[in-house]
């Protein structure tokens, strides 16, 4: 392909990437070094409501001639990052308590980071293994059953995450069907939503339940391309089922295992809907949830755009870091292929 | 859950409109108008009367505060009318999104009482229609059976809860709107005002003191008698716990009182009674805050629309309309004859409970409280660490907003 054709072909996606990825990213980066504030003035005003009158001295936003709030962006350097990472507090905690996780987690960011990492790395092996097992099972089914079974297996993935987490929540919360059933069997009062660890288990379970079908469908498609002759040859050579899986099937679908890992890491690191869906904000905190929380309007109609941008940047950096090993592997393979 | 609740409330509001005896509206409305407000019963009563006049589409949304500023900020405004609370009024007022109503009141507002007019420097900026407060709901039958007097202090609440728990007549003696976030923040504010008068020393937060410590301890004591899943329990959840006979006492919003006797939902019709919010100190003021809810008119609409909107609002707030549903809310209206379900709010106000100190500072603190308290209640943080964190987080947040 000559250079000109290449440019013409890639230009549309390049332009889209600039507009929808590069510019927003730059703006978030820019904003993470600023405080966005209303310009405030101190006024004294008399306010009367059904409970009486009083004179207050308040800071209120200055309105411009059109009646809009005038905003300013103040350069604050690393202030937003400092307010999130709290290295000074972290240092004093470590000096007083040593490397105690529970003490470190009193800082929101580390609490969020702890859960985000647990969520990402605990669910990954389960998703891969269950996905592969399912794919192998379905692959061995009689053809007539394959269609319906694939459809049913995919259902958890088709459901919107928020709806999925809500429905699981309602199975377990208060007197949900499953809780009632367990209480009946165990003759014990069960409150899944009362302890951080039980909610966390439920959230992890939900994620595995929700994402396994994705791994399954990819692996199932890959299994269709495994060379039947090689399997038969291995069979004739006396390889058992496990050896055939270990030495022929898995190496064959390895690129797709890497692909699923990559997608799952990126996806799970952004954990957020689960916390909203399970109303788990009192117990769990994730990096993306922090961003969301900073962006939520409070009663006075303002939000913390600076810190929200900073947590977004930190989340992105986190994703890049955990993807490096996987990406390096992919690059290496590409290089080997080219040689 | 919130989303579903909205859906539910919207459907419920349609049902209500469908079944309410269609009163003919005397002043037909011919200007297309819309409104945005919360979705509890009182707003259903007001907006359904307004709908009778035609050309009016209300949006009832429990999460209305997330969109009210953006919606009224657009030009023309997305909604002509909006329902605000004492606290959300600050957001639209500070942003200059609502219009003064003095001229319209002079023309069409004859039926309004003076205490309905929310004025800023003498200009009427909102029309209050009801008060709201969290106060004591209790199961009269249970308290009578066990020979317990209606608790007036929180220590008595705890004592009563102990007796009820030992008797084992309900699943949990207490309920509480302790859901992490806004609800829990409000619980702290209510309780703290039972011990103290102010949250701030000039611009700096002042809750890291003995009062704050007592407040935390009392909140934690209460949770011991609640459904252990209290950190997910919002007003609707507590209301349902009552309706299903699972709890015996709770400090709940006056706007939920009417639902206790709704035979379609409640299995305890006639059994739940109301009293003032308990005090923290004997003889002190009730540990609760007084709120008002009311109507504002957007600035970014034409004067004709504003006039039509005001006339329509007067239909909704007409004493005869409110008088038909006295149980829906403690209305502020000349027709207001306290329904039995309003008695709790009236007593809380008479007892001298403080109005919610709505301001930008308070909203900031409220948000910080809602995020910080769960760790204390779950035992992940000590009271001392929690109070320190509240102040530190407030300073961070207020600095970013430019309030310091």
CATH of the domain at A238: 1.10.3720.10
Q: Would you state the structure tokens that stand for residue B12, as one six-digit string?
A: 């419920």
Q: Tokens 């709201």 identify what position? A: B132
A167 at the B interface (CB within 8 A)? Answer: no
B400 at the A interface (CB within 8 A)? Answer: yes
How would residue B398 be classed by pLDDT, with cut points 50, 70 and 90? very high
Whether residues B90 and A56 touch (CB distance < 8 A) is answered with: no
B123 occurs within a structural domain: yes
Amino acid B19: pLDDT: 44
Which residues of A, range 238-267, sit inside 8 Å of B by Cβ? Answer: none
Shortest Cα distance from B296 to chain A (angstroms)? Answer: 13
Contacts of A80 in chain B (CB under 8 A): 400
Whether residues B378 and A282 touch (CB distance < 8 A) is answered with: yes
Q: In this structure, is the dihedral angle defined by the CA atoms of residues B305, B307, B313 and B315, taken in order, positive or negative?
A: negative
Shortest Cα distance from A152 to chain B (angstroms)? Answer: 26
Same domain for B272 and B161, yes or no, is yes
Same domain for B245 and B148, yes or no, is yes
Amino acid B8: pLDDT: 53
Same domain for A191 and A299, yes or no, is yes
Burial of B96-109, coded b for 16+ CB within 10 Å and e otherwise, reads bbbbbbeebbeebb
pLDDT at residue B214 above 60? yes
Q: Stretch B151-173: mean pLDDT, rounded?
A: 95
A83 occurs within a structural domain: no
A15 occurs within a structural domain: no
Contacts of A196 in chain B (CB under 8 A): 378, 380
Cis peptide bond upstream of B76, omega within 30: yes
Estimate the crossing angle of helix A108-139 against helix A196-223, to 10 degrees. 40
pLDDT at residue B126 above 70? yes
A50 at the B interface (CB within 8 A)? Answer: yes
> How confident is the prediction along chain A (339 residues), in pLDDT tens digits per residue?
788 999 999 999 999 999 999 999 999 999 999 999 989 999 998 999 889 899 988 888 888 887 778 889 999 999 999 999 999 989 998 998 888 888 888 899 999 999 999 999 999 999 999 999 999 999 988 888 999 999 999 999 998 888 999 999 999 987 789 988 988 898 888 888 888 999 999 999 999 999 999 999 999 999 999 988 998 999 899 889 899 999 999 999 999 999 999 999 999 999 998 999 998 988 999 999 999 999 988 888 888 999 999 999 999 999 999 999 988 988 888 888 887
Same domain for B83 and B16, yes or no, is yes
Closest-CA residue of A relative to B224 is: A194
Domain extent, residue A107, equals: 97-338
Amino acid B22: pLDDT: 46
Which of B318, B346, B374 delimits the end of a domain?
Answer: B346
Number of domains in chain B: 2
pLDDT at residue B16 above 50? no
Same domain for A43 and A111, yes or no, is no
Whether residues A40 and B378 touch (CB distance < 8 A) is answered with: no
Same domain for B138 and B172, yes or no, is yes
Distance CA B326, CA B322 (A): 6
Whether residues B401 and A196 touch (CB distance < 8 A) is answered with: no
Contacts of A61 in chain B (CB under 8 A): 94-96
Closest-CA residue of A relative to B399 is: A35
Whether residues B360 and A302 touch (CB distance < 8 A) is answered with: yes
Closest-CA residue of A relative to B202 is: A57
A24 at the B interface (CB within 8 A)? Answer: no
Same domain for B114 and B139, yes or no, is no
Same domain for A175 and A63, yes or no, is no
Domain extent, residue B338, equals: 2-130+292-346
Contacts of B92 in chain A (CB under 8 A): 301
Same domain for A59 and A177, yes or no, is no
Whether residues A300 and B232 touch (CB distance < 8 A) is answered with: no
Q: Tokens 């103040």 identify what position? A: A74
Contacts of A105 in chain B (CB under 8 A): 380
How would residue B21 be classed by pLDDT, with cut points 50, 70 and 90? very low
Same domain for B341 and B351, yes or no, is no
| Cβ contact B143:B248 at 8 Å | yes
A167 occurs within a structural domain: yes
B369 occurs within a structural domain: no
Contacts of A166 in chain B (CB under 8 A): 1, 4
Q: Least CB-CB distance to A193: which of B95, B232, B401?
A: B232
Q: Least CB-CB distance to B292: which of A50, A166, A302?
A: A50
B116 at the A interface (CB within 8 A)? Answer: yes
Contacts of B401 in chain A (CB under 8 A): 37-38, 302, 304
Same domain for B195 and B272, yes or no, is yes
Q: Stretch B343-371: mean pLDDT, rounded?
A: 92
Same domain for B268 and B327, yes or no, is no
Amino acid B6: pLDDT: 53
Distance CA A289, CA A280 (A): 11
Contacts of A281 in chain B (CB under 8 A): 180-181, 374
A12 occurs within a structural domain: no
Same domain for B151 and B283, yes or no, is yes
A70 at the B interface (CB within 8 A)? Answer: no
When scoring B181, B401, B403, B404 by the number of chain A Cβ atoms within 10 A, the one with the most, hence best to mutate, is B401
Same domain for A106 and A64, yes or no, is no
Q: Least CB-CB distance to A49: which of B86, B122, B230?
A: B86
Distance CA B19, CA A232 (A): 72
Same domain for A292 and A214, yes or no, is yes
A307 at the B interface (CB within 8 A)? Answer: yes
B370 occurs within a structural domain: no
Contacts of B175 in chain A (CB under 8 A): none
Same domain for B94 and B180, yes or no, is no
Amino acid B335: pLDDT: 66
pLDDT at residue B233 above 80? yes
Closest-CA residue of B relative to A32 is: B400
| Cβ contact A329:A258 at 8 Å | yes
Cβ–Cβ pairs < 8 A, chains A and B: 164
Same domain for A62 and A176, yes or no, is no
Beta-bridge mates of residue B250:
B137, B175
Q: Stretch B133-162: mean pLDDT, rounded?
A: 95
A139 at the B interface (CB within 8 A)? Answer: no
Number of domains in chain A: 2
A273 at the B interface (CB within 8 A)? Answer: no
Whether residues B402 and A38 touch (CB distance < 8 A) is answered with: yes
Whether residues A293 and B1 touch (CB distance < 8 A) is answered with: no
Closest-CA residue of A relative to B73 is: A68
Same domain for B161 and B282, yes or no, is yes
B224 at the A interface (CB within 8 A)? Answer: no
Secondary structure of chain B as H, E, C letters = CHHHHHHHHHHHHHHHHHHCCCCCCCCCCCCCEEEEECCCHHHHHHHHHHHCCCCEEEEECCCHHHCHHHHHHCCCCCCCEEEEECCHHHHHHHCCCECCCHHHHHHHCCCCCHHHEEEECCEEEEEEEEEEEEEEEEEHHHHHHCCCCCCCEHHHHHHHHHHHHHHCCCCEEEEECCCCCHHHHHHHHHHHHHHCCCCEECCEECCCCHHHHHHHHHHHHHHCCECCCHHHCCHHHHHHHHHCCCEEEEEEEHHHHHHHHCCCCCCCCCCEEEECCCECCCCCCECCEEEEEEEEEECCCCHHHHHHHHHHHHHHCCHHHHHHCCCCCCECCCCCCCCHHHHHHHHHHHCCCEECCCCHHHHHHHHHHHHHHHHHHCCCCCHHHHHHHHHHHHHHHHHHHCCC
Same domain for B100 and B63, yes or no, is yes
Q: Stretch B197-210: mean pLDDT, rounded?
A: 93
Q: Stretch B180-206: mean pLDDT, rounded?
A: 94
Higher-confidence residue: A241 or B27?
A241
What's the whole-number average pLDDT of chain B?
90
Amino acid B161: pLDDT: 96
Q: ipTM above 0.85?
A: yes
Which residues of B, range 5-64, sit inside 8 Å of A by Cβ? Answer: none
Distance CA A59, CA A44 (A): 9
A4 occurs within a structural domain: no
How would residue B102 be classed by pLDDT, with cut points 50, 70 and 90? very high
Same domain for A279 and A204, yes or no, is yes
A23 occurs within a structural domain: no
Same domain for A219 and A297, yes or no, is yes
What CATH number is attached to the domain comprising B80?
A: 3.40.190.10
pLDDT at residue B1 above 50? no
B396 occurs within a structural domain: no
């Amino acid at each position: 392909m000559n250079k000109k054709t290449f440019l013409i072909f890639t230009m549309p996606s390049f332009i889209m990437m600039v507009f929808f990825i590069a510019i927003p990213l730059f703006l978030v980066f820019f904003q993470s070094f600023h405080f966005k504030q209303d310009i405030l003035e101190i006024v004294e005003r008399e306010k009367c409501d059904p409970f009486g009158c009083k004179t207050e001295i308040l800071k209120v936003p200055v309105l411009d001639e059109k009646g809009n709030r005038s905003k300013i962006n103040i350069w604050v350097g690393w202030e937003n990052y400092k307010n999130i990472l709290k290295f000074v507090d972290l240092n004093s905690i470590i000096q007083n308590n040593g490397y105690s996780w529970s003490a470190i987690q009193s800082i929101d960011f580390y609490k969020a980071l702890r859960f985000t990492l647990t969520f990402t790395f605990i669910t990954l092996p389960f998703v891969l293994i269950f996905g592969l097992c399912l794919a192998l099972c379905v692959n061995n089914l009689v053809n007539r059953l394959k269609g319906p079974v694939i459809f049913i297996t995919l259902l958890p993935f088709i459901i919107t995450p928020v709806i999925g987490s809500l429905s699981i929540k309602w199975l377990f919360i208060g007197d949900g069907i499953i809780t009632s059933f367990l209480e009946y069997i165990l003759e014990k009062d069960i409150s899944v939503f009362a302890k951080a660890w039980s909610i966390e288990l439920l959230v992890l379970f939900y994620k595995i339940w929700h994402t396994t079908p994705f791994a399954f469908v990819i692996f199932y498609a890959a299994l269709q391309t495994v060379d039947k002759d090689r399997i038969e040859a291995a069979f004739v050579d006396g390889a058992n089922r496990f050896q055939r899986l270990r030495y022929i099937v898995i190496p064959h679908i390895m690129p797709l295992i890497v692909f699923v890992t990559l997608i799952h890491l990126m996806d799970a690191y952004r954990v957020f809907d689960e916390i909203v869906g399970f109303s788990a904000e009192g117990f769990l905190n994730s990096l993306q949830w922090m961003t969301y929380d900073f962006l939520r309007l409070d009663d006075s109609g303002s939000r913390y755009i600076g810190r929200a941008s900073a947590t977004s940047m930190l989340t992105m950096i986190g994703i890049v870091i955990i993807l490096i090993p996987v990406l390096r592997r992919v690059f290496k393979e590409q290089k080997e292929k080219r040689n | 859950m919130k989303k579903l609740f909205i859906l539910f409330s919207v459907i419920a509001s349609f049902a209500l409109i469908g079944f309410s005896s269609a009163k003919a509206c005397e002043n037909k409305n011919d200007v297309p108008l819309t409104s945005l407000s919360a979705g509890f019963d009182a707003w259903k009563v007001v907006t359904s009367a307004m709908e009778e006049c035609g050309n009016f589409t209300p949006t009832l949304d429990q999460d209305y505060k997330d969109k009210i500023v953006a919606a009224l900020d657009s030009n023309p405004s997305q909604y002509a009318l909006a329902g605000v609370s004492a606290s959300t009024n600050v957001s639209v007022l500070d942003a200059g999104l609502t219009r003064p109503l003095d001229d319209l009141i002079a023309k069409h507002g004859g039926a309004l009482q003076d205490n309905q007019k929310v004025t800023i420097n003498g200009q009427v900026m909102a029309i209050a229609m009801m008060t709201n407060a969290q106060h004591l709901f209790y199961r009269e039958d249970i308290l009578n059976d066990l020979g317990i007097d209606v608790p007036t202090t929180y220590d008595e609440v705890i004592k009563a809860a102990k007796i009820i728990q030992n008797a084992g007549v309900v699943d949990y003696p207490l309920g509480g709107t302790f859901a992490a976030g806004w609800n829990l923040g409000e619980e702290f504010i209510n309780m703290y005002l039972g011990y103290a008068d102010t949250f701030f020393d000039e611009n700096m937060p002042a809750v890291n003191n003995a009062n704050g410590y007592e407040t935390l301890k009392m909140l934690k004591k209460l949770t011991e008698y609640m459904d252990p899943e209290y950190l997910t329990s919002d007003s609707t959840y507590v209301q349902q716990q009552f309706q299903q006979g699972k709890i015996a006492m709770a400090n709940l919003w006056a706007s939920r009182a009417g639902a206790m006797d709704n035979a379609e939902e409640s299995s305890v019709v006639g059994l739940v009674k109301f009293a003032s919010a308990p005090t923290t100190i004997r003889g002190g003021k009730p540990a609760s805050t007084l709120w008002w809810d009311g109507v504002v008119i957007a600035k970014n609409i034409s004067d004709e629309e504003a006039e039509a909107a005001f006339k329509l609002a007067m239909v909704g707030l007409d004493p005869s309309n409110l008088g038909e549903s006295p149980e829906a809310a403690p209305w502020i209206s000349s027709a207001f004859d306290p329904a039995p379900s309003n008695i709790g709010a009236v007593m809380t106000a008479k007892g001298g409970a403080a109005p919610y100190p709505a301001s930008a500072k308070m909203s900031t603190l409220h948000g910080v409280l809602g995020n910080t308290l769960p760790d204390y209640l779950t035992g992940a943080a000590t009271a001392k660490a929690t109070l320190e964190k509240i102040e530190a987080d407030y300073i961070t947040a207020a600095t970013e907003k430019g309030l310091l």
